[in-house]
A = this chain, B = another copy of it.
Amino acid sequence: MVKVFERPKALADVPTHYCPGCTHGIIHRLIAEVIDELGIVDKTIGVAPVGCAVLAYNYFTCDMQQAAHGRAPAVATGIKRVCPDSAVFTYQGDGDLASIGCAEIVHAAARSEQITTIFVNNGIYGMTGGQMAPTTLPGDKTTTSPYGRDTSKQGFPIRISEMLATLDGPAYIARVSVHNVANIVRARKAIKKAFEYQLAGKGFTLVEILSTCPTNWGITPIEALNKVKSEMLPYFPLGEIKDIEAGEKK
């Protein structure tokens, strides 16, 4: 018998602390698969955020740094400038990247920093117990939008990928999802392309991944995948939003 599917080597052989059914786990595995496939584990340096993925430094077998909340792109800039031949990636949640770290991601993108950002958009602050994120959908209840996100006081969700795509710096920006197997396969392709572009020195790359937080959404993992499909997708359309090899797409 041959192995059709096995745990990637770049994923450390330890259990994770993620809640049951949390798609952070899928995304971790996809990154590890890409690192394995490209054979770059010995020259990859990952940057863990502050967020549920803060312990990501325990889950990848490449070198890792843990960054201050929102500052992963700056930390990655420091690393990449020192190690220009490495593959440097940041792994960031929507609170981390779109809220407190907004300036850092915009400027890493504008500088066309040669890094890959994996942006895990689950529309909530998972780690701190379910507060509103910049990407929380209008009307959604969270612990800091207890009456539902009121856009007149609490603003509108930010579409980070579209926003960054207005810049000249990024080489590749895609929004993908992991709510079913077909999309997981597509997500993996996007991550791979992002790493390949980085290795080819094409510029800044970012893959936004729609993800779940069953715990703080207060629903089951299966229901959570359905919510991604039925509620998040309409607001956050999937696709390659910028690809310098292909011109702008939508």
Contacts and interface: CB of A to CB of B under 8 A. Distances in A.
A107 B155 contact: yes
Contact of A167 (B106, B112, B158, B167): B158
What band does the interface of chain A fall in when counting residues whose beta carbon is under 8 Å from B? 20 to 34
Interface in A154-197: 154-159, 162-163, 165-169
Contacts of A154: 111
Interface string A199-225: 000000000000000000000000000
A61 interface: no
Contact of A102 (B103, B156, B158): B103
A233 interface: no
A128 interface: no
A230 interface: no
Contacts of A102: 102-103, 106-107
A99 interface: yes
B110 A156 contact: yes
Contacts of A101: 103
Interface of A: 99-103, 106-107, 110-113, 134, 151-159, 162-163, 165-169
